[in-house]
Structure 1
Amino acid sequence: MILTTTNSIEGFKIIEYKGIVSGTSSEIKTKFSFKTEKNMQMFDDLISEAKEKAFQKMQTNASHLKANAVVGISLDIETEAGSYFFVVVTGTAVTVA
């Protein structure tokens, strides 16, 4: 499956728009201080893991619509009370040829 932040894919033509798809990560609670480099690396790893999960869920949702690409992807990271964060990816599922 092709994933892109752009609204078109060079060398491909969008044949059909299937709909908007999204994927979210689970809430992840952080219980550490950001004062050390080690803790910053742990936080970076958690965000990377959450982004990957959100992208996988979005791809699965696009596959259910029989899409072979997702265009116009945006990524949003939200925090709640400094202890939780959420990753949301959204895009338009399409069929390209």
Structure 2
Amino acid sequence: MLFTTTDNFQNKEITEYLGLVTGMTYNVNYSYKGVSFKDMFNMKKYYAQIELAIEAVKEATFQKLSDNAEKLNADAVVGINVDMEISAGGAVLVSITGTAVKTQSKRNS
């Protein structure tokens, strides 16, 4: 599955627009996994743990987006928009939207 934030691909032609697709993941239990009580006050380790959690939630969300696009028989998603929210309580929400499309390689004229 190809993804892009733009409305097209270089060397690919969009042959069919299949519709809007989304993926959303919400994770509230990430902040302190694998972090000792002492490390919770070490900001470097705390932020490193947050980065890992955000990356995991983002990857899960892209997988959901891909699964939803495949249900429409798409081979790509264009116009992707990623929204992320981190609450003060430590919850991470990632939402990704885009347009599912079918593509083919451009022919040289």
TM-score normalised to the size of structure 2? Answer: 0.80
* 1:4-53 alpha-carbon deviations (Å, 9 max, x no partner): 11100011111110001011113223358575101100000000000000
Q: Give the equivalent residue in structure 2 for 1:9.
A: 9
Is the CA contact (8 Å cut-off) linking 1:3 and 1:69 kept in structure 2? yes
CA distance in 2, matches of 1:79, 1:45: 13
In structure 2, give the amino acid aligned to 1:50: V
User: In terms of mean alpha carbon deviation, does 73-82 or 84-93 score higher?
Assistant: 73-82
Counterpart of 2:48 in structure 1 is 41
1:34/1:40 contact within 8 Å kept:
no
Aligned match of 1:89: 96
The SS at the match of 1:26 is strand
Stretches of structure 1 that go unaligned for 5 or more consecutive residues are none
What code does the residue aligned with 1:28 have?
Answer: V
Identity across matched positions, percent: 38
Larger radius of gyration: 2
Seen in structure 2, the aligned counterparts of structure 1 residues 34 and 60 have a Cα distance that, compared at 3 Å, is: farther
TM-score (norm 1): 0.90
Aligned AA for 1:15? Answer: T
Task: Give 5+ residue unaligned stretches, structure 2.
Answer: 105-109
